[in-house]
Amino acid sequence: MSTDWICFVCGSRNDINESVCQECGAERPLAVQGFASSQSNLELPAAARRSGGGDFAYLDAQDCLRSLNACLNKAVSTSADNEKFKFMLTPVVEDFEELYAQVDAFIGDVDDPKAIKALKMRRDDSYYIFKLAVMQLEMYSPDNLQPIRVGLMLIKQAYQGLRWLLAYAKNQQDPDVIESKDLLAPSINAYIKGEIDADTYFDAVCGADDLLNECLHEGCQSFHEALNQAKKFDGQNYEVLLDTREDASKANEYWVKAIMAVHSDEPKPEDCI
The burial of 154, by beta-carbon neighbours within 10 Å (0-12 exposed, 13-18 middle, 19 or more buried), is given as buried
**CB 254, CB 215: distance < 8 Å:** yes
The residue out of 171, 203, 232 marking a domain boundary is 171
User: What pLDDT does 36 receive?
Assistant: 39
Q: Kindly state whether residues 110 and 225 are assigned to the same domain.
A: no
pLDDT digits (tens, 9 = 90+) for 168-183: 776 655 444 334 455 6
- The predicted structure's pLDDT at residue 272: 33
171, 196, 219 — which closes off a domain? Answer: 171
For residues 159 and 59, state if they share a domain. yes
Q: Domain with 29 in it: what CATH number?
A: 1.20.120
- pLDDT at 128 (0 to 100): 85
Do the domain assignments include residue 161? yes
The residue segments making up the domain with residue 233 are 185-271
pLDDT at 270: 39
pLDDT at residue 12, rounded to an integer? 63
Q: Say if residue 72 is in the same domain as residue 132.
A: yes
Identify residue 83 by its one-letter amino acid code: E
Q: What is the pLDDT of residue 2?
A: 43
Chosen domain end from 143, 171, 199: 171
Low-confidence ranges of the chain (pLDDT < 50): 1-2, 30-58, 174-180, 265-273
| Residue 20 backbone dihedrals phi, psi, to 5 degrees | -135, 155
Residue 180 lies in a domain: no
Do 146 and 198 lie in one domain? The reply is no
C-alpha span between 105 and 116 (Å, rounded) = 12
Looking at the fold, whether 69 and 157 belong to one and the same domain comes out as yes
pLDDT of residue 182: 58
Q: Are residues 9 and 65 in the same domain?
A: yes
**In the chain, how many domains are there?**
2
Query: Which residues are CB-contacts of 89 (< 8 A; sequence separation ≥ 6)?
Result: 68, 71, 134, 137, 138
pLDDT (0 to 100) of residue 263: 57
In this prediction, residue 172 carries a pLDDT of: 55
